[in-house]
């Protein structure tokens, strides 16, 4: 097993559990669009992919409708939803361990960078990360592969084989493959074992503790 030096983390479903904030904000946006969805569990599919992808694929919205829906979503998310969020158990300990062991850490998320930065600060994790990278507010650079490419450019002096992406959805794994870097799929988030396996994750772990054990074995 080779040694890595830069670890990229997805945010939603990997660092923290954002279910309540995201699903309630989607529910709010849909209501504004005249769509009633009472069951928040039905909106879990919005956790992970870019919002415009989900609004298009799940509700068949066109570009104009998607723009309106995202604006409504942000009305609630900025005020309330961002903070209806909780860290996964032992995440802080894992980040501390990796930092002390000499790893450089980055966030690679499809969420807008400005929101990701605020969430990381809300949890007092900003001192662990060398870079927080996400999409732009105009929805450009929202595909996970594009975000990872941006992170790669930031660490352009590091050999590509020393980067690894950690995430809970197929988008994280596919984005890593597009950038020719290894990946770890985590099943404690919102992607299933089948999803991560089919996406060809290099490794799969079931808990934050297993993640730390994985890096322990590299030493």
Q: 193 — phi, psi (to 5°)? A: -60, -40
Q: How far is it, in rounded angstroms, from Cα 89 to Cα 92?
A: 8
In Å, how far are 74, 107, 129, 160 from 152, measured between CA atoms? 28, 12, 15, 8
The answer to whether the CB of 123 falls within 8 A of the CB of 87 is: yes
The confidence score (pLDDT) of residue 218 equals: 85
Tokens standing for 182?
Answer: 């290894």
Model confidence at 81: pLDDT above 70: yes
The confidence score (pLDDT) of residue 1 equals: 45
Kind of pairing between the strands at 163-167 and 182-186: parallel
The answer to whether the CB of 168 falls within 8 A of the CB of 185 is: yes
* Residue 219 pLDDT grade (very low, low, confident, very high; cuts 50, 70, 90): confident
**Once rounded to an integer, what is the mean pLDDT over residues 170-198?**
97
Active site residues: 10
Whole-prediction pTM: 0.94
Run of H or E residues at 155: none
* Residue 163 pLDDT grade (very low, low, confident, very high; cuts 50, 70, 90): very high
The confidence score (pLDDT) of residue 139 equals: 87
Kind of pairing between the strands at 16-17 and 86-87: antiparallel
Q: How far is it, in rounded angstroms, from Cα 219 to Cα 215?
A: 7
* Residue 2 pLDDT grade (very low, low, confident, very high; cuts 50, 70, 90): low
Question: How high is the mean pLDDT of the chain?
Answer: 96
pLDDT in tens, 130-160: 999 999 999 899 999 999 999 999 999 999 9
Model confidence at 55: pLDDT above 90: yes
């Amino acid at each position: 097993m080779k040694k890595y030096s830069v670890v990229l983390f997805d945010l939603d479903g990997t660092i923290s559990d954002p279910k309540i904030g995201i699903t309630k904000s989607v529910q709010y946006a849909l209501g504004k669009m005249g769509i009633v969805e009472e069951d928040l569990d039905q909106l879990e599919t919005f956790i992970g992919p870019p919002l415009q992808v989900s609004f298009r694929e799940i509700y068949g919205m066109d570009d104009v409708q998607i723009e309106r829906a995202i604006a409504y979503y942000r009305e609630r998310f900025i005020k309330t939803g961002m903070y209806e969020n909780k860290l996964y158990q032992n995440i802080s300990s894992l980040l501390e361990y990796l930092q002390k062991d000499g790893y450089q850490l980055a966030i690679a998320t499809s969420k807008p960078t400005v929101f990701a930065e605020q969430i990381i600060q809300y949890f007092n994790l900003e001192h662990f990360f060398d870079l927080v990278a996400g999409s732009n507010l105009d929805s450009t650079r929202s595909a996970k592969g594009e975000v990872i490419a941006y992170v790669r450019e930031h660490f352009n002096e590091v050999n590509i084989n020393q980067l690894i992406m950690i995430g809970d959805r197929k988008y994280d794994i596919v984005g890593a493959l597009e950038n020719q870097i290894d990946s770890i799929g985590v099943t404690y988030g919102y992607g299933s074992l089948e999803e991560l396996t089919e996406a060809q994750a290099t490794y799969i772990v079931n808990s934050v503790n297993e993640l730390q054990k994985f890096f322990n074995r590299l030493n």
